[in-house]
Structure 1
């Protein structure tokens, strides 16, 4: 098959959708398919084809981490895509590039597959005044509904996407296709132990300090306010317990101040952005992963932590049930008291049990690589070509 993947941003930029699409391209090519990624890039001024990627000029949007917004219409893009002769159009995001893919599929009568990655209701505060958010949510749901209704097949990384689309009037079934993890990159065997020791030294972690980490965008949707408040309520007395927050975003300065106000500033390190190729060593420098986010559909950062053996302490989120299984690859908490119980329980676990638990965590993601993702979507594409 010849498959065109439409995504608003791509490498060298890094986020969950980019990681997903890159892994999908890799997996499909391993299976013998031809793949073209169509993306926007504010660094190019003319359409450029390179290594199976069509980079399209766009306008940089500073408010959205410097990502770009491309025009949904372009004769040059149309010509280059037509020369590729796609059998399947797969839209991964819904803005300039995604809308172009949507329109191209319609004009040329090519089956379209649509993957909804992002719960946009949780991100409206970036672009909409607070008082208008309730009204904006009603409008926001109609836009992905348009893509889902037009698509022959629809996928999402978790049941949360199904519930969201069904609540907005989409009646067709949604294929749940879990996110991938780059297993070759995130292997504890590939960690640089000197760099791991250097990281712990840089942030003044003692040998007996127990480090819990979170990796992701530092925005309101990630639930870090809630996590800090529960931590302050239940774990502030544990001075050898540290919380490392990896990532950057608009809420970082405010959260640094919040940690001080809550009296946990000496436990919290908000270290900022880490390059993706360096993230492995930071994860290996930690002991446990925690998230209080209910906006994620199937967090790739969480999967990367699991791949190196970090159990995940995840806030209860019924629509993401099954991603973290108690006693298999992590623990579930619902309030400050249960957060303390789960963190302290793992910290105090005998080393022999902890070692076995880490192996179980790694095993839980071993079927989450690029080839598995490619195989999962290959089945979806075949159904789309058959008009199912």
Structure 2
């Protein structure tokens, strides 16, 4: 089978979508299938293919983590895709490259798979002032509806995606296919004790301190501020539990100031961005993974922590309730007191009990490798019939071009600033 995967960003950038697409590509290729990744690349002025990746000229979007925004329409791009002759077109994002995938599927009369990775309602604040969150949310729902209706089938890494589609007005079955993780890279036995010791030494964390970690982009939607508030309310220095926050983002400075204001800066370490290839010893040096985010679908960072044996402490999230099972791969908390109780419970376990829990956590992600993801997705691909997308898709997509979207956003921001003036 020949599969074209469309993603707005790809290696060397690292995020959840990039990791998902990379692992899916590797899994499909291991099973003998041919894959072409189509992605935006602001470092090139012409389309070219290298190592199975079609690089498309794009504009660098500094405001959005320096990702690239590519024009949705390109005859040259379509020629490369036509020459590849995919059996399936699979989009993983919703902007220039995603729209390009929708249009290619229509023109080439290929089945279109659409995977939703992001709960966009949680990200509206990046582009719209508070006054326009409501209109922009309705706008994004309409956008999602158009893409979903053009797809032959929908997938998402958790039940939360199905609920989001429903809220956006999409009445289609969603295939829930959990994310995968690079299991070998995060196997505890593949990470030396020297590298773990170097981690503690680098951040001056004593051996008698239990370490709880969070890994991810530091934006409001990740709710690291909730963890800090809970920490200040219920964790004491006598508990000897240290919090490591791994990652960077627009809220990093604000979170560091919050820790200082709460008087817990000596119990919290912010590492900043850590290259993905250097992450395994960071995770393996910790004792538990903690998250208060309600925006994640099936966090790959969390899965990477689990692959190293870290039990997860997850804030209660009904739509992700099946991801963390108490006593099997972690514990769910609801509020500061419960969070503290669960942390202390893990710290008080004997070495034998911790070893049993660690094995249980690792076992829970054993079927989260590249070939597993590929096989799950192949079951979806094979279930599709060769049919065209909606005949009116091209017309409906017209008003969603990135340039027009940005014009609307800027116009809203200008209006909002005007209204705020005395």
What TM bracket, shorter-length normalisation? over 0.9
State the match for 2:204 in structure 1. 204
Does the CA contact (< 8 Å) of 1:5 and 1:89 recur in 2? yes
| 1:47-70: CA deviation from partner (whole Å, max 9, x where unpaired) | 120011001110000111000100
Q: Once the 2 structures are TM-superposed, how far is the Cα of residue 386 of structure 1 from its aligned partner?
A: 5.8
TM-score of the aligned structures, taking structure 1 as reference length: 0.98
1:192 aligned onto 2:175: no
Equivalent residue, structure 2, for 1:357 = 357
What number of residue pairs does the alignment pair up? 388
Contact 2:245 / 2:271 at 8 angstroms: preserved in 1? yes
**Contact 1:122–1:221, Cα closer than 8 Å, also in 2:** yes
Aligned mates of 2:236, 2:148 — CA distance in 1:
46
Shift of 1:45: 1.8
Please say if 1:11 is aligned against 2:4. Answer: no
Q: Which digits, 9 at most, give the CA deviation of each residue in 1:245-290, with x for residues without a partner?
A: 0000000001000001111110010110000000001001111110
- In structure 2, the residue matched to 1:155 is 155
How far did residue 237 of structure 1 move?
4.0
Query: What is the rounded CA distance, in whole Å, between the counterparts of 1:334 and 1:159 in structure 2?
Result: 20
Distance 1:328 1:386 in 2: 42
Q: 2:78 — aligned with what?
A: 78
> Gaps spanning 5+ residues in structure 2: where?
389-422
Matched, 1:167 2:191: no
Q: Is the Cα contact below 8 Å between 2:111 and 2:386 reproduced in 1? A: no
Q: Does 1:373 align with 2:373?
A: yes
Aligned residue number for residue 225 of structure 2 = 225
Per the TM alignment, residue 369 of structure 1 is displaced from its structure 2 partner at its CA by 0.4
Please report how far the alpha carbon of residue 239 of structure 1 lies from its aligned counterpart in structure 2 after TM superposition.
5.6
Which stretch of structure 1 is more off in the superposition, 14-23 or 38-47? 38-47
Q: CA deviation at 1:192?
A: 3.0
Q: Give the 3-state SS of the residue equivalent to 1:326 in structure 2.
A: coil
> 1:39 matched to which residue of 2?
39
Cα distance per residue 1:220-263 (max 9 Å; x no partner): 00001111101110113446210000000000001000001111
Structure 1 partner of 2:283: 283
Task: Specify every segment of 5 or more residues in structure 1 that has no aligned partner in the other structure, as ranges.
Answer: none
Q: What is the distance in 2 between the residues matched to 1:159 and 1:238? A: 39
Cα deviation, residue 202, structure 1: 1.2
Cα distance in 2 between the residues matched to 1:87 and 1:202? 50
User: Of Structure 1 and Structure 2, which has the larger fraction of its residues in helix?
Assistant: 2
Aligned to 2:134: 134
* Residue 120 (structure 1) aligns with: 120
SS at 1:179's partner residue?
coil
Instruction: Tell me the equivalent position of 1:53.
Output: 53
State the distance in 1 between where 2:324 and 2:315 align: 10
| Partner of residue 273, structure 1 | 273
In structure 2, what is the Cα distance between the partners aligned to 1:225 and 1:101? 37
Q: Which moved more, 1:40-49 or 1:76-85?
A: 40-49
Displacement of 1:130 in angstroms is 1.8
- Distance in 2 (alpha carbons) for counterparts of 1:85 and 1:111: 12
Q: CA RMSD in A?
A: 1.2
- Kept in 1: contact 2:110–2:387 (CA 8 A): no
Q: Is the 8 A contact 1:239 1:267 kept in 2?
A: no
Structure 1 partner of 2:307: 307
User: Cα offset for 1:364?
Assistant: 0.3
Where 2:309 maps in the other structure, the secondary structure is: coil
- Asked whether the equivalents of residues 236 and 264 of structure 1 are also in contact (C-alpha less than 8 Å), the reply is no
- Asked if structure 2 preserves the Cα contact closer than 8 Å seen for 1:236 and 1:263, the reply is no
Contact 2:5–2:92 (8 Å) recurs in 1: yes
Whole-Å separation in 1 of the counterparts to 2:207 and 2:247: 24
What whole-Å deviation, never above 9, does each CA across 1:181-225 have from its counterpart, x for those lacking one?
Answer: 111111111113222111101111111011110000011000011
* Distance in 2 between residues matched to 1:362 and 1:337, nearest whole Å: 27
TM-superposed deviation, 1:10: 0.4
Q: Distance in 1 between matches of 2:140 and 2:193?
A: 46
CA displacement at 1:385 relative to structure 2: 2.9
Does structure 1 conserve the Cα–Cα contact (< 8 Å) formed by 2:239 and 2:344?
no
1:89–1:105: 8 Å Cα contact kept in structure 2? yes
Residue 23 of structure 1 and its aligned partner are, at CA, apart by 0.5
Q: Which residue of 1 aligns with 2:398?
A: none
Mapped to 2, the partners of 1:376 and 1:315 lie a distance apart of: 28
